[in-house]
Amino acid sequence: MQRSIVDLLWYAPYALPLLLLYGNAVLKRRRRERENRAVLEESLEAGLMSPASLHPVIDTSICVGCEACVHACPEYPKHKVLGIIRGKAGLVSPSDCIGHGACKTACPVGAISLVFGTKERGVDIPLVSATFESNVPGIYIAGELGGMGLIRNAIEQGRQAMEAIIAGMQGEGPEGSLDVAIIGAGPAGLSATLAAHEKGLRYVTIEQNALGGTVANFPRGKLVMTAPARLAIVGEVKFAETQKEALIEFWKEVESTTGINIHYRERMVDLAPSEGGFLLETTKNSYRVRTVLLSLGRRGTPRLLEVPGEDLPKVVYVLIDPVQYAGKRVLVVGGGDSALEAAHAIADQPGASVTLSYRGTSFGRAKRKNRDKVAEYSADRRIELLFESTVSAIEVSSVSLNHAGEKRVIPNDAVIVCAGGILPTGFLQDVGIQVETKYGQM
């Protein structure tokens, strides 16, 4: 007995540091779990529990809580997409997941599957073959529309889809027709355009907005997470982390040096079968084409207010750079995160006067940090907050609103409409493309 006590005393100096290290690790893990719970509660409160694209599902019967998936996510630590709660991994901020899939690769026990949609909310995904061709022969789909939100994936799919189109072509096609129409000049559309140009195809690329598609609409300074990808003509492009502006500038340089031709501010309005291919109608022209590559974003066409004056140049549907609104009287319309973020970002600019109009009685589907920020700015009179209001007309130097049953006219220099977009699902179905709603499925 005496010998045992002596042995314990001998090991005590070694055991104490180990106990301290263990205790510190336990405290850190508990602190991280509290943080994870707070993020999850905020997502639940804001109703932001539906991932926009491909996302992980964790089998908790297999998960060992090692946190490998948490740290493998390229969005971490800026966005905490995954977190450990009760010793198991899970999505704590689902709306921040953009489908990198790195978590699945990092999991040492194979507890993660990648799926589209959830059991409660489905995601519409067009059915395509391994060569990106839809069930309508001659119509191909690549990029974000097919459910893949990553820039690298979109670039690869655009190039591969064009290679498949080229491989399937036989003969010259009807006289006067083009080989392919590429709809959209985002990462997939740009990549496909380069491939078509390299092979000497007769092509037309149309883009309703600007080069970069959805990426062009990202906020100023947003980090774009990407990875090496191969562009036709250009070769392998290597990016680790780069800001949106740098990526867009690189693409503009590629456009200029390669001589590709993209028709901007031109939108597709109809696509119908025609002899030997399709008849494409746009806002500016008509094209007879043999094949079509749809490289549209999933955000679709911006939802309009449909009020007089909405076509004025001062009306836009996304905030690109808040600095340009310094010293201006700005109306922001909407109640989601994009509207609230736009409002407080502009309110930070010198001399800016901001009014935020929303038809609802509260911001039920926005993150707490954005709601708190707007509430703070409203209390400081940096933002005029108008619940239960709708825009009735837009004039050159003013805007008319219906506010709580009364008409109100306010001075105005710019209008930013953040009312979401109209998804292209209806258009796809009208063309005959099969669309499957995924409820937590691959």
DSSP letters, 201-247, are: --EEEEESS-TTGGGGGSPTT-EEE---EEETTTEEE--SEEEHHHH
Q: Considering its fold, how many domains does the chain have in total?
A: 3
Q: How confident is the model at residue 362 (pLDDT cuts 50, 70, 90)?
A: confident
Name the domain boundary from 58, 89, 115: 115
Domain annotation covers residue 308: no
Which of 144, 338, 327 has the alpha carbon at shortest distance from 222? 338
Please check whether residues 28 and 85 belong to one and the same domain: yes
Q: How confident is the model at residue 212 (pLDDT cuts 50, 70, 90)?
A: confident
Higher pLDDT, 20 or 439: 439
- For residue 299, which phi and psi values (nearest 5 degrees)? -75, -20
Range of the domain at 13: 2-115
CB 331 within 8 A of CB 416: yes
CATH code of the domain containing 41:
3.30.70.20
Most confident of 80-84, 100-104, 255-259, 293-297: 255-259
Amino acid symbol at 277: G
Domain annotation covers residue 163: yes
Domain annotation covers residue 306: no
Amino acid 440: pLDDT:
76
Please check whether residues 157 and 284 belong to one and the same domain: yes
Token readout for 432 is 């005959």
Residue listed under structure tokens 């969005």: 75
Domain annotation covers residue 307: no
pLDDT digits (tens, 9 = 90+) for 41-77: 888 887 778 787 788 999 999 999 999 999 998 888 8
Domain annotation covers residue 309: no
Most confident of 219-223, 364-368, 416-420: 416-420
Token readout for 214 is 């959805």
pLDDT digits (tens, 9 = 90+) for 319-346: 878 999 999 999 999 998 889 999 999 9
Please check whether residues 128 and 271 belong to one and the same domain: yes
Residue listed under structure tokens 């059915």: 127
Q: How confident is the model at residue 9 (pLDDT cuts 50, 70, 90)?
A: low
Domain annotation covers residue 246: yes
From 89-98, 159-168, 234-243, the region with the lowest mean pLDDT = 234-243
Neighbours of 436 (CB within 10 A): 14
Higher pLDDT, 243 or 91: 91
Please check whether residues 361 and 262 belong to one and the same domain: no
pLDDT digits (tens, 9 = 90+) for 273-310: 998 899 999 999 999 999 999 998 776 677 889 999 99
3-state secondary structure of 162: helix
Please check whether residues 256 and 238 belong to one and the same domain: yes
Name the domain boundary from 115, 149, 174: 115
Question: Is 80 exceeded by the pLDDT of residue 407?
Answer: yes
CB 245 within 8 A of CB 221: yes
Q: How far apart are CA 109 and CA 64, in angstroms?
A: 8
Domain annotation covers residue 270: yes
Q: How far apart are CA 214 and CA 184, in angstroms?
A: 10
Enumerate the β-bridge partners of residue 180.
203, 291
Question: Is 90 exceeded by the pLDDT of residue 150?
Answer: no
Question: Is 90 exceeded by the pLDDT of residue 353?
Answer: yes
Please check whether residues 400 and 260 belong to one and the same domain: no
Higher pLDDT, 190 or 10: 190
The sign of the dihedral angle between the CA atoms of 370, 373, 378, 382 is negative
Please check whether residues 284 and 415 belong to one and the same domain: no
Q: How confident is the model at residue 99 (pLDDT cuts 50, 70, 90)?
A: confident
Q: How far is CA 365 from CA 49, 116, 331, 361, in A?
A: 10, 21, 20, 12
Please check whether residues 150 and 234 belong to one and the same domain: yes
Please check whether residues 79 and 11 belong to one and the same domain: yes
Question: What does pLDDT average to over the chain?
Answer: 88
CATH code of the domain containing 240:
3.50.50.60
Domain annotation covers residue 68: yes
Give the chain's length: 442
Q: How confident is the model at residue 428 (pLDDT cuts 50, 70, 90)?
A: confident
Please check whether residues 85 and 132 belong to one and the same domain: no
Residue listed under structure tokens 């309703």: 208
Please check whether residues 292 and 371 belong to one and the same domain: no
Token readout for 196 is 């078509």
Please check whether residues 88 and 193 belong to one and the same domain: no
- For residue 424, which phi and psi values (nearest 5 degrees)? -80, 15
Q: How confident is the model at residue 7 (pLDDT cuts 50, 70, 90)?
A: low
pTM of the model: 0.74
From 20-29, 133-142, 328-337, 424-433, the region with the lowest mean pLDDT = 20-29
Report the run of H or E that residue 429 belongs to, with start and end: helix 425-431
Q: How confident is the model at residue 366 (pLDDT cuts 50, 70, 90)?
A: confident
Question: Is 90 exceeded by the pLDDT of residue 416?
Answer: yes
Mean pLDDT on 112-137: 88
Q: How far apart are CA 176 and CA 117, in angstroms?
A: 43
